Amino acid sequence: MGNGLKFFIDKIVNLQSDGDKYFPVGMFPAYRDNALIGYNRPDTTIFFSAIIAFTLQSVRENCDLETQQKINFVISKVVQNYPDFENKDGLKTYNFWKTKPSKHFPNGYLFRHFEHFRIPDDVDDTAFVYLTSNPEKDEILWLKEKLKLHANGSKQWIQNTYPEYQKLKAYSTWFGKDMYIEFDVCVLSNLLYFVFKNDLPLNEHDEASLEYIRSVIATARYLTVPFRCAHQYPRTPLIIYHVSRLMAAFDPVQLQPVKEKLIEDTIQLLKETKNPMDRVILSTSLLRFGIKTERIAVENFTARDFKNFYFFIAGLMTAYENKILYRISSNKIFHMHWLCEAHNWTLLAEYETLWNK
């Protein structure tokens, strides 16, 4: 194992919270940010901690014994926080924020006072919690049934999408009985990772979700209108990163027709991309497919290289199904960006691992 990987793991270990007023023991500090309006707040979300745990799991086998033990310890400390984000009524779904009581928009001044901004549990956080915490088989089967109840067409039909997707019975991002239906290609990729990892039989909602992923690639919408394809991850490099992770791990037959297009588009985008971290995740995506790229000297990266890179957003207007409000929802002034230094180091550890393979 190279010194680079050990260096990145040590960086991550050092950033894990020992417990303070914003971040409980075992969580990774994250911040919600909108530089356009000078907004920045510490954000007590389980999202980054869970995806760091998930990614560290994938690099663990390539580490020496001492580093493996460090990773195991990091993950165990993350998992101890999961109960605080569990469904408020004790169901085994999970929320972006603490639930008992609701701590939506924590450490802020305005949004946390309004019930309107309290979000339901979501399939993205839930998938990562399940992927990192060894749930019982009956819990996995329960979740698979629960997901059906919130798929498109089960109670209502999606509005904020293209006409040809409105009757597609894909999964929605959200649980919650009154929540609108939303398709996000990255969220669906993460959820389907959970489905394939647990060898669950595919139902009509799994097939429809795979069809959505296939279609946004085949139509090149993920290149031209990424926000319409992924409200939470509204940039093409992020979509490529998530879809390629699913495809490389399980090679679903439904996505094989767009595999070459995805690879060719990624190669082209990598030639054009200047942002250092976008270059990392695009290169990671190609390495997953066994395609060697020009080496990125990630061992020389500092926190300065993380500037202007964000992995996840909330679009404050995407919840509205009014067509005029939805049209302005892609404007960056309405976007809250989430930043997490530890997750950026984790992405570098992942790149280093795949490169050394």
Full domain range(s) for residue 312: 3-356
Counted domains in the chain: 1
| Residues 168-217: tens digit of each pLDDT | 999 999 998 778 899 999 999 999 999 999 999 999 999 999 999 999 99
Mean pLDDT, residues 275-294 taken together: 97
Q: Residue 93 above 90 pLDDT?
A: yes
Find the CATH number of the domain harbouring 274: 1.50.10
pLDDT for the residue 154: 95
The better pLDDT of the pair 333, 31 is held by: 31
pTM of the model: 0.92
pLDDT for the residue 327: 54
pLDDT for the residue 132: 98
Could you write out the three-class secondary structure of the chain? Answer: CCHHHHHHHHHHHHHCCCCCCCCCCCCCCCEEEEHHHCEEEECCECHHHHHHHHHHHHHHCCCCHHHHHHHHHHHHHHHCCHHHHECCCCCCCECCECECCECCCCCCCCHHHCHHHCCCCEHHHHHHHHHHCCCCHHHHHHHHHHHHCCECCCCCCCCCCCHHHCCCCCECCECCCCCCCCCCHHHHHHHHHHHHHCCCCCCHHHHHHHHHHHHHHHCCHHHHCHHHHCCCCCCHHHHHHHHHHHHHHHCCHHHHHHHHHHHHHHHHHHHHCCCHHHHHHHHHHHHHCCCCCCCCCHHHCCHHHHCCCCCEEEECCCCCCCHHHHHHCCCHHHEEEEECHHHHHHHHHHHHHHHHC
